[in-house]
Amino acid sequence: MRKAVNQLLPHKSSRVLGGPFQPKNAVKEFYIVLHSPHKLYRPGEELSGQIILVLKKNVMNLMISLSLEGHIKVNSTSPLRSDKKQSLFNHKIVLYGDSEETALTFGEHRFPFIIKLPKRNAYTSISFEKGEIKYGLKCTIVERDNQDVVLATSEKMFSIVKPINLTLLPEPQPKVLRFKTTKGKLNKTLSSISSTSSLASSESMEDNLDNYVQIKMNIPSMGYLRGESIPVRLNVKCHKKIANTEGVIVTLIRICRLDLGQDYEIQSYRKDLSQSIVPLIVDPNTLTSDISTSLRVPVDCFPTITANMVSFQYYIEVLVNLSNSKIRATQVGFLDDEIIQNDTSSNIYNVDRLKRTKNVLTLNSEIVIGTERKSRVRRKSRRPSSVPQTPCTSIDSPLSPQETSPPSSSLQYSAIPESSSVNEKEVLRLREQALMPSEPPTELNDLDYARPPSELPPMPTPGPSDGHNAEHFDVLLDDDTEYAAVPIYTEPGSED
């Protein structure tokens, strides 16, 4: 009876509700506005915007906080298990209310903010069938004295694209598969990721080339952008003649791997994006066949993602049918629901059952779907603007071989004939001429020939010739810097 009466009586409260500064039911509008809401942000960029708060009455002791959150969520495939969620980052700042006394009047209030996105643990925003990778801002209004009481919340999602520069990827190596045939069956003997094979395997193939089948796949680049075409070249060497109009099936596939932890098994899902079917005609004389085709990357596919819990990787899958019988989707064992319709209105065959049939070989090669293709230009050393231009070689400047080479006369010496053919005076003249430059600089007059040029960059302007300046000149010539040869002057008439 007492409990029933207490439920009808009003409860006592420590505060008077409905006062002029009470925060309860005071928020009319509360939302987040980004300055660039449709922009695809990159890790490390700044995200700016405003928090809009409209109050219906005056309030006190409010705290407004803003959180930057990013997470990976994987939906559970079993009703007995909950969804798996992994937080990438969670940064929180206080926009208003960190002081002791705060009060806001009724009306509209704006709180601007600028947040720098983290560079680590940031992947491309996607939403797929099994989960999502999302980023967002979450703003919360709480009472400063009791932060457990949340008055209002607002969330704003934005997208991040992690840049992948395709020019930084290495050059791809050809993929080679070799198989040995025994009594009509194919046995795999070697699978390599490059065209280089071991000496033992090459010698074993030379012993009996008629029993081997070799498939070589070449892709010119390892990375491609959305909307581009991927050229694929195949070289097939076989021991028999083959003529099959549907002998080669090339498919662009995407593999999704989910790693939910030690208590879960790694799940893998495949999706076919593009496909090309070309004939296989083996020349009866050379028993080889060269095939060229291309696959188009869909414009709506997302770039390659390799996170801890989820990853998306792209592969080029090649199926080669070494039999002369065609494999069609209308054959027994293939259902209509196994034909998938893609964006280009072309049929993509489900090749899972083809892999288990006889005389069908499979070869895979991984590619990367990137976001950009930018070449990095190396920075060259710049010449200081304060250094005057002189006929001497500049320091730390990229020059052509003609500019860096000193005068030809200082490096090449004329051959001096033997003393039996010319007199002694002529020999002395030729030796002296070998030490002289053929074309002395025109900027130097006759008085400047006795001292080094005054405009060498690392050397102070020389005064009258004395021992101090001569010491500096010797040290200058002993370092590793290249300078023009100093001309040697002789008085006219000294040759006589």
Task: Quote the pLDDT of residue 236.
Answer: 92
Residue 476 has pLDDT above 90, yes or no: no
Does 396 reside within a domain? yes
Q: How confident is the model at residue 44 (pLDDT cuts 50, 70, 90)?
A: very high
Of the candidates 130, 36, 127, the one whose C-alpha atom is nearest the C-alpha of residue 83 is 130
Phi, then psi, of 154 in degrees rounded to 5:
-150, 140
Is residue 464 very low, low, confident or very high in pLDDT (cuts 50, 70, 90)? Answer: very low
| pLDDT average, residue stretch 12-35 | 66
Q: Of the residues 323, 340, 369, which one is the last residue of a structural domain? A: 369
Domain-located, residue 7: no
**Cα–Cα distance list, 131 to 74, 75, 216, 258, 298 (Å):** 4, 5, 37, 10, 21
What pLDDT band is residue 420 in, cutting at 50, 70 and 90?
Answer: low
- Whether 469 shows a pLDDT value over 90: the answer reads no
Domain count, the chain: 3
Cα separation, 218 vs 102, in Å, equals: 69
| Residue 19 structure tokens | 């006062």
The pLDDT of residue 325 is 74
* Proportion of the chain above pLDDT 90, given as a percent: 37
Q: Residue 450: which domain range? A: 379-496
Asked if the structure places residue 6 within a domain, the reply is: no
Confidence label for 427 from pLDDT (cuts 50, 70 and 90): confident
Residue 282 domain-assigned (yes or no)? yes
Is a pLDDT exceeding 80 seen at residue 460?
A: no
Claim to verify: residue 347 and residue 208 sit in the same structural domain: yes
- Cα distance between residue 370 and residue 303, in whole Å: 5
Among 132, 160, 188, identify where a domain stops: 160
Give a yes or no: residue 257 inside a domain: yes
Residues 295 and 245 grouped into a single domain: yes
Tokens of 373: 């293709």
24 and 55 co-located in one domain: yes
Looking at the structure, tell me whether residues 224 and 173 fall in a common domain.
yes
Tell me which DSSP letter residue 78 carries.
S
- Give the span between the Cα atoms of 97 and 32, in whole angstroms: 18
CATH code (residue 254)? 2.60.40.640
Q: Per-residue pLDDT for 493 more than 70?
A: no
* 187 in the same domain as 269: yes
Scanning the structure block, which residue is given the tokens 């600089």? 441
For a pLDDT cut of 70, what percent of the chain falls above it?
62
Chain centre distance of CA 133: 20
> Are residues 407 and 294 located together in one domain of the fold?
no
Kindly report the pTM of this predicted structure: 0.65
Backbone angles phi, psi at 93, to 5 degrees: -130, 155
Query: Are both 114 and 178 inside the same structural domain?
Result: no
Tell me if 8 is assigned to some domain.
no
Residue 477: strand, helix, or coil: helix
Segment 487-492 mean pLDDT: 40
When pLDDT is cut at 50, 70 and 90, the band that residue 452 belongs to is very low
Whole-number average pLDDT of the chain: 73
Q: Are 487 and 391 in contact, with CB atoms under 8 Å apart?
A: no
Question: Are 106 and 177 contained in the same domain?
Answer: no
Joined together, the tokens standing for residue 349 give 């065959």
Weakest-pLDDT range from 123-137, 253-267, 474-488: 474-488
Closest-CA residue to 221 (of 213, 211, 233, 208):
233
Residue 130 predicted with pLDDT over 60: yes
Residue 2 domain flag = no
DSSP symbol at 288: E
Same domain, 180 and 285: yes
Q: Are residues 53 and 116 in the same domain?
A: yes
pLDDT digits over 82-116, tens only? Answer: 788 899 999 999 999 887 777 888 899 999 999 99
Is residue 440 helix, strand or coil?
Answer: coil
Query: Do 48 and 113 belong to one domain?
Result: yes
- Report how far residue 409's alpha carbon sits from residue 396's, in angstroms, rounded to the nearest whole number: 24
Q: Count Cβ atoms below 10 Å from residue 161 Cβ, excluding itself.
A: 18
In a domain, 1, yes or no: no
| Residue where a domain stops, chosen among 99, 125, 160 | 160
Integer Cα distance of 146 and 63 in angstroms: 10
137 and 186 share one domain: no
Tokens 């940031």 correspond to: 122
